[in-house]
Amino acid sequence: MSTNHLPLNRTNIAEAHKIIKPYIHRTPLLTNQTLDTIASTPQSLSDLVGTGWEGSDRTPAKPKIRFWFKCENSQRIGAFKARGAFHALIRVIEELGEEEVRRRGVVTHSSGNHAQALALAGKTLNIPTHIVMPSISTPSKIASTQSLGAKVVFSGSTEPERTAVMREIQRETGAIFVPPYDHPDIILGQGTTGLEMEEQYAELQQGEKEWKTLDAVFTPIGGGGLNAGIATWFSEPSKPAGKKTLVFGAEPSFQGANDCQRGLAAGERVPAVSSKTIADGLRTPVGLNNWAVISDPSKVAGVYSVSDEQIKKAMKLVLERMKVVVEPSAVVGLAVCLFDEDFRRRVEEEGGEDGWDIGIVFSGGNTTVEAIAALFGSA
């Protein structure tokens, strides 16, 4: 993709939404009183065993939390990635012309969700797509990408290995690279998730005496496109409420997958990740464009991390209490709200008696019965 891209701001996210609206779903914004109650109940001392708060002389926090779940697991191809893929591909076509793009095709590398998203966009817009996928990718994601008409080429699992195969395809075909997450056109597309959340939340507040906005929004962070896009949307106070929605990120901590959190602590971006966390969609390092947004404290209020065991607990609650199918990556934000005492204490202190309305983006639902059984078979 060229460097002729639009600036990251609310206006351009709104324009991106107009462009992709015919091709995406306006996914539901759900509530669940059971999960609100669980989140608003102090953790027991046994819950804190094995965490950094074990043995603390402070009473566990008692925040008042109301959740609003943006169900991108119900998005086309089962993940928010459809938003960025359609926006980026349409922008390429606008810039280079349909005939040129169709002649050359497009290429990307992805372990699953962006692969399926770009394959869908290519099929819809009649553009040939080449997808480089690690050979260890989930078989169902490979099959879905192929069924959408993309030519799938396999590679090793690391980003340098993926990139090497992709460049060979470009040499052979002249295909145009559509990045999986690290490009402004992708970020603007993902930011439309925040636009819809704000609209839907406002619609559900009709009849209230006082117009409100979400107090906070959590997204998972892998490459960072979703978080950067939503942080861009909420970077200005909402009108007429005049109150700014705080944006937070969440990551798995297993084997250093919390590269964004570690990078923020160190003051510089971590360029590589090697982790086998169950949140397989979050095994990538934060992209450069995304880091510029996420590392700005005026746009992202903090990044937290959770253990794989906490991710499993949160996923189990969603499956059993909400009857919603999500993949592990989707619930890291919920897990922070349920189990991270530092965040929970912040809600308690800043939210007071009113508490916080917290938006949680369920980023995707691309899992399988077999994968769920493997996670919970011994539960």
Residues 157 and 48 occupy one common structural domain: no
Q: Could you list the residue range(s) of the whole structural domain that residue 107 is in?
A: 81-177
Residues 234 and 361 occupy one common structural domain: yes
Residues 264 and 152 occupy one common structural domain: no
Amino acid code (one letter) for 160 = P
In a domain, 233, yes or no: yes
**Among 279, 261, 280, which Cα is nearest to 270's?**
261
Residues 256 and 352 occupy one common structural domain: yes
Residues 69 and 86 occupy one common structural domain: no
In a domain, 161, yes or no: yes
pLDDT tens-place string over residues 33-72: 999 999 999 999 888 888 888 888 889 999 999 999 999 9
Q: What is the pLDDT of residue 55?
A: 83
User: What is the signed CA dihedral for 40, 45, 49, 55, rounded to 10 degrees?
Assistant: 120
Residues 372 and 284 occupy one common structural domain: yes
In a domain, 190, yes or no: no
User: Got the DSSP string for 236-288?
Assistant: S-BTTTTBPPEEEEEEE-GGG--HHHHHHHHTS---------S-GGG-SPPPH
Of the listed ranges 135-139, 225-229, 237-241, the one predicted with least confidence:
237-241
Long-range contacts of 366-375 (CB under 8 A, 24+ apart): 366/73, 366/77, 366/78, 366/79, 366/112, 366/113, 366/116, 366/138, 366/140, 366/141, 366/144, 366/327, 367/325, 367/326, 367/327, 367/328, 368/138, 368/140, 371/138, 372/319, 375/278, 375/312, 375/315, 375/328
For 14, half-sphere exposure in the C-beta direction (CA atoms, 13 angstrom radius) is 6
Q: What is the pLDDT of residue 210?
A: 66
The CATH number for 124's domain is: 3.40.50.1100
In sequence order, which residues have a C-beta less than 8 Å from that of residue 33 and are 6 or more positions away?
none
In a domain, 351, yes or no: yes
pLDDT tens-place string over residues 345-370: 999 999 999 999 999 999 999 999 99
Domains in the chain, number: 2
CB atoms within 10 A of CB 262: 18
In a domain, 349, yes or no: yes
Residues 237 and 277 occupy one common structural domain: yes
Residues 236 and 299 occupy one common structural domain: yes
Please list the residues that pair with 351 across neighbouring strands: none
**CA–CA distance from 50 to each of 79, 190, 262, 337 (Å)?**
33, 36, 20, 18
Mean pLDDT, rounded, of the chain: 94
Token pair 């060229």: residue:
2
Would you place residue 269 in the very low, low, confident or very high pLDDT band (cuts 50, 70, 90)? very high
Q: What is the pLDDT of residue 47?
A: 86
Output b/e per residue, 221-258; b: 16+ Cβ within 10 A.
Answer: bbbbbbbbbbbbbbbeebeeeeeebbbbbbbbbbebbb
What is the percent of the chain with per-residue pLDDT over 70, rounded to a whole number? 96
